[in-house]
């Protein structure tokens, strides 16, 4: 068993309340044997009027006791970021 996995995934599409996600960027995740993971995401949103918004976020994820093995079997859940802008949280 490897000490940890490093996985990269391309961001190809997506939507949010004010527009869409440009098909550039990616998600990088390092998954440890103990089920812990480090997430590093970089992508670009495009608003309905064409403005580009660079979105980056990092975080720690607990995939659970069997998370490493579940990840190897592609049995993991998606993550949903919560973005805060100036005066409050943007609804999902």
Residues in contact with 57: Cβ distance below 8 Å, sequence separation at least 6, in sequence order: 39, 41, 81
Tens of pLDDT along 53-88?
Answer: 888 888 888 888 888 888 888 876 666 666 666 555
Question: How confident is the model at residue 3, as a pLDDT?
Answer: 77
Torsion 1-73-37-15 (CA) sign: positive
Q: Is 91 exposed, middle or buried (0-12, 13-18, 19+ CB in 10 A)?
A: exposed
Helix (H) or strand (E) holding 16: strand 15-16
Q: How many residues does the chain have?
A: 92
Tens of pLDDT along 15-43?
Answer: 877 888 888 888 898 999 998 889 898 98
Question: How confident is the model at residue 88, as a pLDDT?
Answer: 53
């Amino acid at each position: 068993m490897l000490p940890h996995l490093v996985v990269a995934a391309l961001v190809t599409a997506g939507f949010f309340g004010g527009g869409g996600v440009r098909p550039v960027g990616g998600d990088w995740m390092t998954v440890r044997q103990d089920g812990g993971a480090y997430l590093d995401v970089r992508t670009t949103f495009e608003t309905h009027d064409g403005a580009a918004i660079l979105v980056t976020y990092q975080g720690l994820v607990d995939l659970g006791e069997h998370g490493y093995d579940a990840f190897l079997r592609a049995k993991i859940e998606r993550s949903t970021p919560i973005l805060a802008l100036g005066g409050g949280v943007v609804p999902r």
